[in-house]
Structure 1
Amino acid sequence: MGAERAGEDVFREFLIAVLLHNEAVADRLGLRPLDVAAVILLEMRGPLPVGAISEELRLPSASATRLVDRLEKAGYARRVRGEHDRRTVTVELVEDGLDDYRALAAGARRHLDEVGARYSPEQAPLLVGMLDGIAAAYRTATAEARDA
């Protein structure tokens, strides 16, 4: 039980560190932590409809709309109407508006690269698989918590 407990504590410390970092980034950018999550999502996936942002972040559509409003007001994102169907609207990042965010992200990446350097290339798939599994577990738990 001792080693098991220690692992659980390490994992909880990891969660706290990620949450606090996201909060610090949000504070520096004048955003909310969920807004930062949306910026990261748009960085990974590219332009998305508000409905897709709502689904990915497990938000009611009205909350996702307000989130996009905040990102637009802060200069991080913009809504773009479809070229062929003007009713289609996607949200995309504003490249010129992301300098502060990218500077903060670069600091985190530098520290994460230092951690990654401790592991061999053969260990990378195991670590990535574990992180992918943890992300899936939390997405499921988030959906359950919001639906409860």
Structure 2
Amino acid sequence: MPHSHQAADLYREFVISFMLHNQSVADRLGLQTVDVAALILMEMRGPLPVGAISAELDLPSASATRLVDRLERGGYVRRTRSPHDRRAVIVEPVEDGMAKYYAAASLSERHLGKVAEHFGPEQAALMLEMFVHVAAAYRDATQELRDRPS
């Protein structure tokens, strides 16, 4: 096992490479990284109310509205009325727009597929479990940063 400082540096390299990749996807699509995060959320969860996008990405309401405006102008999403509450606006992905996102994201999927070839099912399950815990740790740390005064 690598020395703890080396392990931390390897993890930081991972985080930096992930951030740079997301920025590259956003640049390719003419979007901001937070816009790509919204597309990923809708890819995972399907159509979402603007308020849910705001909450999931921890954005003020006005910022979430501007985000949806950008995605709508780019042809990635459309606004519709909720069938359950006509006052609520639902943001749903548009197939042609998502095809542009998938084309940009497919490059990473191809490269990650090569990585997956090196690991067995048990190792993959362990890595996925680790991602669950890492994501929770980052959410907790993010909340602490936002709750503490500077």
TM-score (normalizing by structure 2): 0.93
So what's the TM-score if we normalise by structure 1? Answer: 0.94
Could you list the per-position Cα deviations for residues 97-135 of structure 1 after superposition, in whole angstroms to 9, with x for gaps in the alignment?
222211111110111111111111111221001011111
Report if the CA contact (8 A) 1:58-1:143 is conserved. no
Count, aligned residues: 147
Segments of structure 1 that go 5 or more residues without pairing to the other structure are: none
Describe how 1:112-127 pairs up with structure 2 within 5 A: 112-127=112-127
| Pairwise CA distance, 1:147 | 2.9
**What pairs up with 1:68-79 in 2 under 5 angstroms?**
68-79=68-79
Question: Hey, what does 1:6 align to over in structure 2?
Answer: 6
RMSD over equivalenced CA pairs, Å: 1.2
Q: Deviations over 1:61-115 (max 9, x none)?
A: 1111111111111110111102353212111100112222111111101111111
Q: SS at the partner of 2:91?
A: strand
Aligned to 1:131: 131
1:80 counterpart SS class: strand
Q: Distance in 2 between matches of 1:132 and 1:114?
A: 22
Structure 1 residue identity aligned to 2:50? V
| Paired AA for residue 119 in structure 1 | F
Q: What is the deviation of 1:145?
A: 2.2
Which whole-Å CA distance do the structure 2 matches of 1:66 and 1:133 have between them? 31
Counterpart of 1:42 in structure 2 is: 42
Equivalent-residue separation in structure 1 for 2:147 and 2:90 (angstroms): 26
For residues 38 and 87 of structure 1, what CA distance do their matches in structure 2 show?
22
Q: Distance in 1 between matches of 2:52 and 2:107?
A: 29
SS in 2 for 1:15: helix
Unaligned runs of 5+ in 2: none
Distance 1:70 1:41 in 2: 16
